[in-house]
Amino acid sequence: MIKLVLSDMDNTLVPFGQPSVSPRTIEAIHAVLDAGVLFGPDTGRDYVELMRFFQGDERGFMTGIFSNGKRVRADGRYVRTVLLDHDVLVRLDRLLRPEHGMFLVCYPEQTDLSNPAYGVGATREELAVFERRTKFTGTPVAEVPEEDFIAATIACPGGPDRMERCRAIVAEGVPEVRIVSPIPEWFDVLPQGVSKADGLEVLLETLGIGIDEVAVFGDAENDLEIMRKVPHSVAVANATDEVLSAARHHVGASADEGVADALLEIARATQAGELPAFLREEAS
Q: Are residues 265 and 276 in contact, defined by beta-carbon separation less than 8 angstroms?
A: yes
Model pLDDT for residues 157-184, shown as the tens digit of each residue? 999 999 999 999 999 999 999 999 999 9
Parts of the chain belonging to CATH 3.30.1240.10: 86-191
| 179 contacts: CB under 8 Å, gap ≥ 6 | 154, 166, 167, 170, 187, 188, 189, 190
Which residues, given as ranges, of the chain have pLDDT below 70?
282-284
Model pLDDT for residues 103-134, shown as the tens digit of each residue? 999 999 999 999 999 999 999 999 999 999 99
pLDDT, position 281: 72
Q: Are residues 196 and 222 in contact, defined by beta-carbon separation less than 8 angstroms?
A: yes
Report DSSP letters for 27-64, one per residue. HHHHHHHHTT-EEEEBSS--HHHHHHHTTT-GGGGSSE
pLDDT, position 284: 44
* pTM above threshold 0.85: yes
Parts of the chain belonging to CATH 3.40.50.1000: 4-81+194-279
Q: Which amino acid is at 283?
A: A
Q: Are residues 48 and 112 in contact, defined by beta-carbon separation less than 8 angstroms?
A: yes
CATH number, domain 4-81+194-279, options 3.30.70.20, 1.10.287.10, 3.40.640.10, 3.40.50.1000: 3.40.50.1000
Beta pairing, strands 64-66 & 4-7: unpaired
Provide the sign of the torsion angle of the four alpha carbons 115, 165, 17, 47, taken in this order.
Answer: negative
Closest listed residue to residue 215, CA positions, set 200, 202, 205: 200
CATH 3.10.20.70 is right for the domain spanning 86-191: no
